[in-house]
Amino acid sequence: MKLLSRAFASALTLALATPSLLTAAGNDWPRFLGPTGAAIVTESKVPLKWSDTENLLWKADMPGPGASSPIVLGDKVFITCWTGYGDKPGADDMRQLVRHLLCLNRADGKLLWDAKVPSAAAEDPFKGFITEHGYATHTPVTDGERVYVFFGKSGALAFDLQGKQLWQTSCGTSSGQRRWGSAASPIVHGNLLIVNANDESQTIFGLDKTTGKIVWKAEGDFGMAYGTPNILKRDGVDDLVIAVPQELWGMNPDTGKLRWYATHGLTGNVSPCLVPGGGDTVYVFGGFPATRSTAIKIGGKGDLGPKAILWDSSSSSYVPTPILKDGHLYVINDQGFALCIDARTGKDVYRERATMGSRGGGKPFYASPVLIGDKLICVSRRNGAFVLAAKPTYELLATNEFASDTTHFNGTPAISGDLLILRSNKAVYCVGMK
């Protein structure tokens, strides 16, 4: 067990009931991977085809690049990006690094406000792997009253809906051994903002979302755990669940104390979020140098033991988080293969080459798929978006791209009503039926 036992600050008791994994197509997409962290809506009239000239309702240029995903609250779209360092040729002074939280009008993409946050600490240099995603990789989250962001070594921040900064709390300024930066997105649970600051301090924080004060912190030997945690309800109890290399942790979200853990075979680093299976099963993907996937029966107390591992497979995804639908797991992975895995057995149902790689090099997919009814939308980094049928037989329904934009599309799209909102390193796009 890696998590260190220690005395924590007194916990808040307000609980948040986890909604169903299936979500109707409302306007709000308040966090990474949507309302429940499953990236699923039951229905929406998002079109199957789009381009620069077809079903593009608006485009909003951004001041700089970013790999975070858009979120939506009512008539507002929130997205982060960065400027000043590494965003263009000649920008080589780290002291000029600024993060931006942008608020756009959902109806037409008009910029409503731009909250600028100067870097509060020296960052990992813009070289090597960090050039693949940059300094605005964490997706914001909203509780309907405020918008919260995590900017790595510059900490967690809260803003009101008019763009006024309310607080800023450091979550550490260290770096992992590889200096890759971090990517996990914050989530809201009751009166807490929960932040996975693995790279910055090997700590998960529970912050008072009103004041930014630290309510609890769980420190331990995380290794490289880049995934966003989730809240899962089991037997009427909320568990804060996160996958780290070689272990899955179930924690009390109100105190940060470990309730249970399971040992698994994913080594190196874990980037995808866990996939909730409903009931007492979760699916974990990732690992390095070899990627793997596993199904784990959760719950209980302490070490769940080897019986908790329901299956283990070499079919996996390095960054994108798969979708679970009707007993099957779907994803296009970092090697460009579209996978369908039987969620009961872990066996491949199909494995089809979707793309030969990303134009310009690098892994072809960072974005996770989103599911609309029976259709999967999988946004690649530089080869457009692939629309697949969510069924156990491979069927490519459409491939769409904005030919005028040759930058990376690293963020997972948001679904808001009948709109699909995507981001690249250059712009935010809103797709819908004209």
- pLDDT higher for 34 or 175? 34
Q: For tokens 């009103």, name the residue.
A: 210
- pLDDT higher for 22 or 286? 286
- pLDDT higher for 359 or 329? 329
pLDDT digits (tens, 9 = 90+) for 12-47: 222 223 334 445 457 899 999 999 999 999 999 999
What pTM does this model have?
Answer: 0.93
pLDDT digits (tens, 9 = 90+) for 120-143: 999 999 998 899 999 999 999 999
Interstrand relation of 237-244 and 76-83 (parallel, antiparallel or unpaired): unpaired
Statement: residue 366 has pLDDT above 80: yes
Question: Is the alpha carbon torsion for 361, 364, 365, 369 positive or negative?
Answer: positive
3-class secondary structure, 198: helix
Report the run of H or E that residue 397 belongs to, with start and end.
strand 396-400
Using pLDDT thresholds of 50, 70 and 90, give the confidence band for residue 427. very high
For the chain, the C-alpha Rg in angstroms (whole number) is: 20
pLDDT digits (tens, 9 = 90+) for 344-354: 999 999 999 98
Please name the amino acid found at residue 403.
A
Answer yes or no: are the C-beta atoms of 215 and 12 closer than 8 Å: yes
3-class secondary structure, 94: helix
pLDDT digits (tens, 9 = 90+) for 372-401: 999 999 999 999 999 999 999 999 999 999
pLDDT digits (tens, 9 = 90+) for 209-266: 999 999 999 998 888 999 999 999 888 899 999 999 999 999 999 999 999 999 999 9
pLDDT for 362:
72
